[in-house]
């Protein structure tokens, strides 16, 4: 079902883009791109990257959908079950900074909660 979910998000993103809703298009396309990347569905991932480029997102060497090192650190600690406050203490940042990074992670992966994040990478 993840492939179907990615296809639906991709189609929704293309529709939003055609309607001129750039932010919504980017959100849907980023979610689809993340799914296709996790599934290693290169043709679909490439199409999403092209559609994201048409929305004005340029691809960098790390790619617009890749998690930054700090976002990866936050994800690893959240997956261990730590709260935002505990993650913040571990990384020597504020809880607000952890919230910011989690927001970026959720957007890039097309998810909305810690539960979904844990479901993506079950132990």
Look at the domain 69-120 and name its fold: Arc Repressor Mutant, subunit A (1.10.10)
What is the tens place of the pLDDT at every residue in 52-98? 888 877 544 345 567 888 998 999 999 899 999 999 999 999 999 99
The domain spans of the chain are 2-54, 69-120
Please, what is the average pLDDT of the chain? 86
HSE-up (13 A, CA, CB side) for residue 37: 18
Evaluate if residue 19 carries a pLDDT over 90: yes
Amino acid 106: pLDDT: 87
Amino acid 61: pLDDT: 38
Contact by Cβ (8 Å): 55, 25: yes
Evaluate if residue 7 carries a pLDDT over 80: yes
């Amino acid at each position: 079902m993840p492939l179907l979910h990615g296809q639906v998000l991709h189609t929704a993103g293309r529709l939003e883009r055609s309607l001129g809703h750039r932010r919504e298009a980017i959100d849907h396309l980023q979610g689809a791109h993340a799914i296709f990347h996790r599934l290693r569905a290169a043709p679909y991932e490439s199409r999403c990257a092209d559609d994201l480029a048409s929305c004005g997102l340029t691809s960098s060497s790390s790619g617009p959908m890749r998690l930054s090192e700090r976002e990866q650190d936050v994800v690893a600690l959240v997956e261990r079950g730590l709260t935002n406050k505990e993650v913040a203490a571990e990384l020597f940042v504020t809880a607000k900074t952890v919230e910011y990074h989690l927001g970026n992670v959720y957007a890039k992966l097309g998810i909305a909660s810690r539960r979904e994040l844990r479901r993506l990478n079950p132990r």
